[in-house]
Structure 1
Amino acid sequence: MDFVQLRAAMVAELEEQGIHDTAVLQAMNTVPRELFVPEEYLEHAYDNGPIPLPTKQTISQPFVVALMLAALKLKPHFNFLEIGTGSGYAAAVASLLVRQVHTIERQEKLVPYAKTRLNQLGYANIAVHLGDGTLGWPAAAPYDAIVVAAGGPAVPASLRDQLGENGRLIMPVGSYKKQKLQLVWRKADGRFGQKTLTPVRFVPLIGSEGWEDDDQ
């Protein structure tokens, strides 16, 4: 398989679907998604759909990754927080667009999975943490941008609190199985604005400020 050609075709499809942030498109045309997917799904590496990972997690659909990153209006000096590391693919894409990425994964088995790939590929500005993503990562706050790659009933207060002035957060909000992307930003006066975007379906956001493991 010619992954370079498949990657370029994926990016062209994203552009046709309305993604026009050239920096995001360039980053997605750079990161080798095939190196982040389980071997049994290698032929689907550039399908515009989610790919299963161990422990019932997924690598998000490329269009959704691009949409969420574009909505955050990322800048090279940004301090960026990701909730839900998964394979590390989205963190790799974001790392080409910002100064520093902190990414949190609650599934212990996925942390070495992501770290190994990111280290092998030389992504030096990504820190992978094991923890409850709903609580954020206060040690490195405030953040200019936060992306939550799991759906919850509401945006966790801890994540709002860790947004810096003019910081933006995007997260799927809704029921356990169906959500809508919600964009939240902190205004200069400390209050928050928000906007609802497209319907999506993400794995549940499990944690002390999200769903419990057995919530349905």
Structure 2
Amino acid sequence: MQCAPFREAVSARLDGEPLGMPAADLDRHLAGCPDCAGWSGAAGAVTRRARLAPAPPVPDLTAAVLGALPRQLPGTAAAARARLLHQSLRLALLAVGVAQAGLAWPALSGGAAAMSAPVHVANETGAWNLAVAAAFVAVAAAPRLAAGALPLLATFAVLLTLTTVRDLNAGHVHADRAAAHLLLLAGVVLVTVVAWRQRRRRGAAVLAGERVAA
């Protein structure tokens, strides 16, 4: 029997190529031909030595690569600070809204008797202050509402400040009563900051969209 075709099949098997014959025929021949079996073992050893050649030495660049990595991705720290500031503004505005509601509620729940103003005027004042507190809470819950609420709140804050200063100078209002308005002014300032930040975010989003389109 000619052994050349079987040895070619052995070589093809070692290289992962088609054998050119049924694998069962090759296995039967190797089992019955000591010469081909020995040739197959030697060819396999040579192939393994060729494929398992030692890799050339490579310098350890781990320290250099780790040292070249940025300590923090660009923009990550700034984005984290922006998120923290945004959440802090919302929480502060929520606290101001709750406190403002606490100041307004006594006038609506029967506490107007202790006030010098007529009952109906005190109730109107309480209702207005409670509405302002609701506006603060609404902006804290949905910052996109800040721009819409700002004109009314800012107008009220400016007029209240002017009249309070005038009444203080004329002795028509006590200092402790006037100091209660500082809470409202703080809320208006917070709404202003939130509206400004929302406008900046919208502007940045529009600019990014224009760059992508370009």
**TM-score under structure 1 normalisation?**
0.25
More strand by share: 1
Select the structure with the greater relative contact order (CA < 8 A; seq sep ≥ 6): 2
